[in-house]
């Protein structure tokens, strides 16, 4: 029921909307689209980004023949809001997704059991489906608290024709998971490892698509569980890293990322075999930075790296959401390049919509920009607004952060007295909206990517301008944030 209703609403929105400017003229030229999203993969975990041990030849080759982004940002420093931001092209705060979503049906004091990607949100697969794309996802969903339940929208309601998913992590681990659901039906125990299972599902679906609908373009979303805990890796890969790892657990992590690379290689080989690779754009990234080792009981295999970036997952320093970013499209990217301008997962929806000749409703507030000019001219277009994060449960004291050109600006709320929050209700939303930004930090990331030298009070000519911009941007986002009302017991 959700899916039929959303399709009807989407059709009406598109009739009332407008196409994204500069769309390609020929439907035949529209590319197939693949988004591969890792879970807790650090910026420094790939060979191409400098990891001294982990072997990632397939991803390195994608970067060497496409675009490697050295300043690619996720929509949040934690999983659920990051995924919702990617799906909608909007700050997840607008959708009311502030932190990771626990699977729950029991009422909680902060209404976390109600949190989900709501039906009125317009998603990338919905837009592409309306434009004639077949859509599929396989992997980690994590966009609702009541998974595979009619009480909340599911992946098909978000626009996926076919889906194989878990609510959160693969369980009991990446190896032989038992908690997958396919199109609303429990699958039961599955043999193999999660990233390879996701690729198997995708390739099987693509083969049917090519046979039954050979002329239809497709959108494939592969949100891998790896390398999030509980980490499990093939022993033959673990053996490759025992001599260079500090511990067996670290060897498991190295092998886990290597295994992701092999899964990506299998997908590419399948696209080539089906003669689909040339006009397929692949984007590879991560939902947030790497997990902090031993933050929780089963986190002993979280050995991700951020390179020189400060902070990790759950931080508003760059290590929390400055993640790997690779884009590869043989038919559309003729010269390999490294892009240093800041880009975001929020940019995927406007970019893919333009490439697909899809229409974004005129009243839809997007926080991303189209990167199609980058594909045409090699230059990232100037942003009309900075990238902004308001993460109320951050480990570090600065809950609000902004990237504006080379500048990173952070601020505390109420001098650090604002409580850490996992969700917003009407009561604490009002407190968030009226909170004062204080204790500012400003870094020039072109000169100081590790955020080591706070320039506040050091004769920075645009200090007050940057602080005023952060205040204005935060105020506008807080005013447009969604709050969840508690249900009566």
Give per-residue pLDDT as tens, 223-244. 999 999 999 999 999 999 999 9
Q: What is the pLDDT of residue 488?
A: 67
Same CATH fold assignment for domains 2-21+30-377 and 387-479: no
Residue 167 CA to residue 96 CA, distance in Å, equals 18
Distance, in Å, from the CA atom of 65 to the CA atom of 326, rounded to the nearest integer, reads 10
**Catalytic center residues:** 79, 142
Gap between the Cα atoms of 130 and 125, Å rounded: 8
Domain limits, the chain? 2-21+30-377, 387-479
Count CA atoms within 13 Å of residue 429 on its CB side: 21
Does the predicted model carry a pTM greater than 0.75? yes
Extract the runs of DSSP E, i.e. beta strands, from 168-270: 181-182, 185-186, 218-223
pLDDT at 24: 36
β-strand partners of 280: 32
Four-CA torsion 94, 96, 99, 100, nearest 10 degrees: -120
Q: Where are the beta strands (DSSP E) in 93-236?
A: 134-140, 162-166, 181-182, 185-186, 218-223
Second CATH level (architecture) for the domain 2-21+30-377: 3-Layer(aba) Sandwich (3.40)
| SS3 at position 221 | strand
CB of 60 within 8 A of CB of 313? no
Please return the burial class of 317, using the count of CB atoms within 10 Å of its CB with bins 0-12, 13-18 and 19+: buried
Cis peptide before 227 (omega within 30 of 0): yes
> 287: closest CA among 449, 73, 91?
73
Which tokens hold the place of 404? 């504006």
Reading phi first (left if > 0) and then psi (alpha if -120 to 50, else beta), residue 304 is in: beta
Residue 304 CA to residue 299 CA, distance in Å, equals 11
Q: Which residues of the chain have pLDDT under 70?
A: 1-28, 488-489
CATH of the structural domain 387-479, one choice from 2.60.120.10, 3.30.1120.10, 3.30.420.40, 3.30.1330.10? 3.30.1120.10
Give the model's pLDDT for residue 28.
54
- Per-residue pLDDT at 13: 43
């Amino acid at each position: 029921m959700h899916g039929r209703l959303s399709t009807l609403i989407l059709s009406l929105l598109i009739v009332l909307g407008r196409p994204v400017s500069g769309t390609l003229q020929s439907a035949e030229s529209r590319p197939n689209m693949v988004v591969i999203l890792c879970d807790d993969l650090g910026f420094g975990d790939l060979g191409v980004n400098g990891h001294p041990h982990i072997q990632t030849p397939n991803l390195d080759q994608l970067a060497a023949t496409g675009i490697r982004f050295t300043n690619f940002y996720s929509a949040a420093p934690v999983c659920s809001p990051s995924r919702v931001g990617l799906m909608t092209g909007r700050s997840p705060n607008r959708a009311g997704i502030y932190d990771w979503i626990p699977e729950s049906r029991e009422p909680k004091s902060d209404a976390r059991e109600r949190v989900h990607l709501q039906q009125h949100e317009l998603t990338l697969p919905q837009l592409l489906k309306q434009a004639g794309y077949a859509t599929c996802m396989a992997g980690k969903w994590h966009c609702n608290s009541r998974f595979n339940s009619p009480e909340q929208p599911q992946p098909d309601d978000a626009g996926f024709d076919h889906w194989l998913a878990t609510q959160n992590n693969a369980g009991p681990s990446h190896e032989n998971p038992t908690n997958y659901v396919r199109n609303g039906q429990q699958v039961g125990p599955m043999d193999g490892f999660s990233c390879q299972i996701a690729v198997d599902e995708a390739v099987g679906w693509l083969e049917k698509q090519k046979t039954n609908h050979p002329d239809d373009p497709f959108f494939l979303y592969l949100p891998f569980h790896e390398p999030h805990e509980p980490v499990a890796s093939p022993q033959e890969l673990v053996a490759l890293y025992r001599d260079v790892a500090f511990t067996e657990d670290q060897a498991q992590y190295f092998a886990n990322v290597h295994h992701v690379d092999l899964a990506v290689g299998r997908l590419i080989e399948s696209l080539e075999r089906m003669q689909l690779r040339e006009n397929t754009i692949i984007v590879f990234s991560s939902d947030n930075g790497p997990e902090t080792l031993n933050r929780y009981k089963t986190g002993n295999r979280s050995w991700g790296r951020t390179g020189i970036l400060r902070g990790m997952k759950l931080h508003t320093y760059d290590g929390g959401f400055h993640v790997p970013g690779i884009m590869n499209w043989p038919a559309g990217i003729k010269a390999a390049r490294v892009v240093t301008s800041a880009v975001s997962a929020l940019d995927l929806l406007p970019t893919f919509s333009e490439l697909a000749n899809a229409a974004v409703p005129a009243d839809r507030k997007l926080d991303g920009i189209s990167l199609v000019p980058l594909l045409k001219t090699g230059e990232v277009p100037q942003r009309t607004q900075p990238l902004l994060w308001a993460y109320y449960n951050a480990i570090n004291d600065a809950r609000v952060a902004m990237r504006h050109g080379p500048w990173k600006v952070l601020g505390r709320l109420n001098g650090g007295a604002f409580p850490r929050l996992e969700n917003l209700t009407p009561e604490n939303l009002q407190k968030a909206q009226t909170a004062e930004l204080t204790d500012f930090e400003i870094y020039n990331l072109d000169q100081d990517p590790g955020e080591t030298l706070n320039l506040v009070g050091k004769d920075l000519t645009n200090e007050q301008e940057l602080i005023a911009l952060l205040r204005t941007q935060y105020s506008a986002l807080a005013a447009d944030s969604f709050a969840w009302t508690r249900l009566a017991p």
